[in-house]
Amino acid sequence: MSYTAHPTAVIDEGCSIGEGTRIWHFSHIMPGCTIGPGCNIGQNVVISPEVRLGRNVKVQNNVSIYTGVECEDDVFLGPSCVFTNVINPRSAVNRRGAYQRTIVKQGASIGANATIVCGHDIGRYAFIGAGAVVTREVPDYALVVGNPARRTGWMSEFGHKLAFDPDGLATCPESGERYQLKNGAVSKVL
């Protein structure tokens, strides 16, 4: 076994778990999941069937990731955040064939207790504030907060809020990388 799992973790048959991944207390990894190398799955995490996690995904305690969710490389999922997968759930109506897809793109961070309503992708290096309720697409590098979540700024790949000058340029104070804001979208200047 090339990964580490606490004895209380439940890992169903048919999962693919990458080298160096760690799975902690009382977590349940359901059939058909693909978890990339170098991931950390915290305590009391539920990863439903067919979920895909890329390389180096950090899942904090008490997170629920339901069928239809895919997290690309280097995603951070904060404590007790949750994804939905059906837009109109009813106890008496079986909607197992109606799961909507949600993609959390490379480098995105989702804060503690945030809720991601299904069918709304999270852009590359986006930052979802703690407790936010995401009800629409989130662009690359966007900082969104509140309920419903609204964009309040832009973030660097190192997690710093960007301050754009009149020419639409900003510099990350930690990395020195430069970003451009043009037509309502941010991109890294290469």
57-110 pLDDT, tens digit per residue, is: 999 999 999 999 999 999 999 999 999 999 999 999 999 888 999 999 999 999
Per-residue pLDDT, 21: 98
Instruction: Provide the b/e sequence for 5-30 (b: ≥16 CB within 10 Å).
Output: beeebebeeebebbeebebbeebbbb
What CATH fold (topology level) applies to the domain 1-155?
Answer: UDP N-Acetylglucosamine Acyltransferase; domain 1 (2.160.10)
CATH for the stretch 158-190: 2.20.70
Q: What is the pLDDT of residues 2-24, one digit of tens each?
A: 999 999 999 999 999 999 999 99
Q: 29: closest CA among 73, 117, 4?
A: 4
Q: Where are the beta strands (DSSP E) in 78-160?
A: 82-83, 102-104, 109-110, 115-116, 127-128, 133-134, 142-145, 150-154
Can you give the pLDDT at residue 97?
84
Domain ranges, ordered by start, for the chain: 1-155, 158-190
